[in-house]
Amino acid sequence: MRRPLIGITTAYNPPRDERDIPRYVSYTRVAENVAAAGGLPVLIPSTVDDETLRALYDRLDGVLLPGGGDIDSKHWGEELHPKAYGLDPARDHTEITLARWAVADDRPLFGICRGHQVVNVALGAAMYQDIPSQYESELSHANFLPTPRDFRAHVIGINDGSRLAQIIGQVNAVSVNSIHHQAIKQPAPGMVAVAYSPDGLIEATEMPGKRFALTVQWHPEDLSADESQFNLFKTFVAASAGA
């Protein structure tokens, strides 16, 4: 298989004071899993202009939007919740733009956690900005540090016959990690919800008829010792290679 070029978006960390420098930041395990699956990971800077972004995108075989901070609620027309944190306007713009381009061009697109949310927001979905205050649930979705990132916080159920079910190879009692306090309220137009947590929150969406347009709320890069989770990266990379 030809090794496809996979673009992975980055967060922008502005300088904290006059002696600091701005940085692009990316979680290493995402790129490592893309490489292990046969892809060539390329980090996408989040502050470039749209012309530069388009030129970079045109050279990519697939786009991966990873986890990160919250999305500004202006993108679905709501006032910002006081519990929102980690806003990154440049990253919002870059990822929403890339998601729309990838869907329009049928370029393989994989969203993880924040990326799951961004893809749906880009295509017209709204969000719960803070699950504990906006959605009644007895589950703990926000298992941040010091909880290990590979801690299996709860199970999900996957729709039988979905692309996700084919990749994971299981539909019931699939245990996942959970490191988020926001969630999409409904899938965006064209996307289909294909997995749910026991409290009814959407855990995955996909777009039927596309080569690969799939998003998951959990972090498979931290569970990739499990072959069924690593299969998400393998299938995405294979689709990006034209397989």
Written as six digits, the tokens of 122 are 């880009």
- As a whole number, the mean pLDDT across the chain is 97
Question: What stretches of the chain adopt beta strand conformation (E)?
Answer: 5-9, 11-13, 23-25, 40-44, 62-65, 109-112, 127-128, 154-158, 174-176, 183-184, 192-196, 202-206, 213-216
Which range marks the domain in which residue 14 is found?
A: 5-240
When pLDDT is averaged across residues 100-127 and rounded to a whole number, the result is: 98
The CATH number covering residue 33 comes to 3.40.50.880
User: What's the whole-model pTM score?
Assistant: 0.96
Which tens digits make up the pLDDT trace of 51-84? 999 999 999 999 999 999 999 999 999 999 999 9
Q: Assess whether pLDDT exceeds 80 at residue 1.
A: no
Q: Minimum mean pLDDT among 12-26, 31-45, 111-125, 147-161: which range?
A: 12-26
**Catalytic amino acids?**
113, 219, 221
Which tens digits make up the pLDDT trace of 170-199? 999 999 999 999 999 999 999 999 999 999
Structural domain tally of the chain?
Answer: 1
CA distance 198 to 21: 44
Residues in contact with 53: Cβ distance below 8 Å, sequence separation at least 6, in sequence order: 44, 94, 97, 98
